[in-house]
Amino acid sequence: MDYTDEQIDFMRADLGSGMALSKMIKAAKERFEVEGRDFDKEFAAFRAKRQRVKAQAQFRIVKSMREHKEDNNY
């Protein structure tokens, strides 16, 4: 199985923190379950929104660079 750089960074940080990140995720999942919510579904929606915002920001930066002729052929 291939892991993304983001997943590898998460695993390193989790190991370095004594698995605190995994424990925090588990606690959040349990709290969502008690509240009748779906953690995985809501987290997937959050990540999708974050990706859209990131893409929009990158687009605006490149557009601004092009307008100011600082694009270096981007």
pLDDT score at 70: 63
User: Would you write out the chain's pLDDT as a tens digit for each of its 74 residues?
Assistant: 799 999 999 999 999 999 999 999 999 999 999 999 999 999 999 999 999 999 999 999 988 888 887 656 65
C-alpha pair distances (Å), 47 with each of 8, 24, 42, 64, 67: 17, 18, 9, 26, 30
- 17 CB-side CA count, 13 A: 12
User: Contact at 8 Å (CB) between 29 and 38?
Assistant: no
Query: CA torsion sign, 62 to 66 to 67 to 68?
Result: positive
pLDDT score at 33: 96
pLDDT score at 63: 87
What is the C-alpha separation between 52 and 55, in angstroms, rounded? 5
